[in-house]
Amino acid sequence: MSVEKLKQEAIERMGSGMKAIVKEKVLDIIEQAYAEGIYVLITSGYRSVAEQNKLFAKSRTTAQLRALGITGIEGQPNEKKVTNAYGTLSNHTQGIAVDYCLTNKSATTSYWVVNKDWRRVAAIAKSMGFAWGGDWKGFVDNPHLEYTGKITVEPEETKVDSVIVTTPNKPDTDGDANIKKLQTFLNGYTKKASFTKLVVDGYKGPKTKTAAIRVFQYFSDVTIDGVFGKKSKAAAPTVKKGTTWSKWTRLVQGMLYYNGFNPQGLDGVFGNDTVAAVKAFQKANGLVADGVVGPATFAKFFA
C-alpha cells in the first residue's frame, strides 16, 4: 500500500470533525513512519458524543451509565474496557485525538502489538506535539494519540540486538519518477517560497501540492500562503506553446504529472507534447481545451 493510500484511509477514518492542524499532523506521522518502513493505520479519529458513549458503555452497567447522566444507551458490562472517557471528556469528541494500529506493507493484516515499531510511531507523534496513551498511568491506551501541542523528544532506542541486523534500504522504486522531478523542481524554491524541503519520494500529497501553490505564488508575486484563492487565480499568467518562461512551463508540466497527465517531460519547453497534455487535462476538467494555460486551468491544477 502506498503512503498516499494510507493517508487517504486515515482521512476517511478520522472523519470530518477533526481539527485541521491535527489532521495534517497525523498525515505527517504516517509519512514519516512510512519513510522508516512502518505502516500506520489510523483506525479512528473524530467521534460524536453518542459514538464515544457507546464505547464507554463497554465494561459498564446501565446503572453506572445513568449515574453519570448518560441516557439512551444500555451498559455492556461483559465487554472489554476500551475507554475511560465519556461525553466530551474524550478528546476524540474534540477532534484532536486518533487511534492507530500497524499494518504490513500490503495492508492485509493489522496488528496491535506494542513493539519497537509501535513505540517509534508514538515517538514520532510525540515529537510533533501529541501525547501517547501508552504513557498513561492507570488505564493504558496504547493505540491513542492526542494533540496537546507539547513537543516531547524521545531518545533513540538504545537497546541493541546481540546480532547485527542489516536493514535493507527502503527501495526507491515505489514513488513516481515524474512526481520526484516535480518535487526536486519545487525544492529549488524552498527559501523563496518559504516551505520545508519536500522529501523527494515520488508521492503526491498535501505537502507537494502546497509547495507547488507556494511556488506559483512566488512566481506570480502574490502573498505566499499556500492557498490558491481568488488573488492567486487573478495573478495567474497565460502560459502557452513557445513561451520562453521555462520555470512557468516546468510548473505547468509538474502539475500535469501531479494530476495524472503526461507532458512527456519536465524540461521547461512548452512544445506539442505539453499542449496535448494540457488539452487532455482541460477536457477532463470541463474547461475549453485550447492547450493554453490561464487562470482557470491553474485553478484546476491546484483544486
Identify which of 50, 92, 89 has the alpha carbon closest to the alpha carbon of residue 70.
50
Nearest approach in angstroms of CB 43 to Zn ion is 9
Residue 132 binds Zn ion (CB under 5 A)? no
Residue 144 binds Zn ion (CB under 5 A)? yes
Q: Which stretch binds Zn ion (CB under 5 A): 60-68, 95-103, 121-129, 255-263?
A: 95-103
Q: What is the DSSP letter of 14?
A: H
Residue 31 binds Zn ion (CB under 5 A)? no
| 61 close to 44: Cβ distance less than 8 angstroms | no
| 250 close to 268: Cβ distance less than 8 angstroms | yes
Sole binder of Zn ion in the list 99, 125, 130, 208 (CB under 5 A): 99
Residue 250's φ and ψ, nearest 5 degrees, are -60, -40
Q: Which stretch binds Zn ion (CB under 5 A): 2-10, 143-151, 223-231, 272-280?
A: 143-151
* Residue 12, C-beta contacts closer than 8 angstroms, at least 6 positions apart: none
Size of the site for Zn ion (CB under 5 A): 2
* Residue 169, C-beta contacts closer than 8 angstroms, at least 6 positions apart: none
Nearest approach in angstroms of CB 163 to Zn ion is 36
Nearest approach in angstroms of CB 154 to Zn ion is 20
Nearest approach in angstroms of CB 141 to Zn ion is 6
Residue 176 binds Zn ion (CB under 5 A)? no
- CA distance to 33, 82, 124, 162, 205, per residue, from 156 (Å): 14, 30, 11, 17, 28
b or e along 47-71 (b: 16 or more beta carbons within 10 Å of the residue's beta carbon)? Answer: bebeebbbbbbebbeeeebeeeebe
Q: Which is nearer to Zn ion, 29 or 280 (CB)?
A: 29
Residue 201 binds Zn ion (CB under 5 A)? no
Nearest approach in angstroms of CB 84 to Zn ion is 10
The contact set with Zn ion (CB under 5 A) reads 99, 144
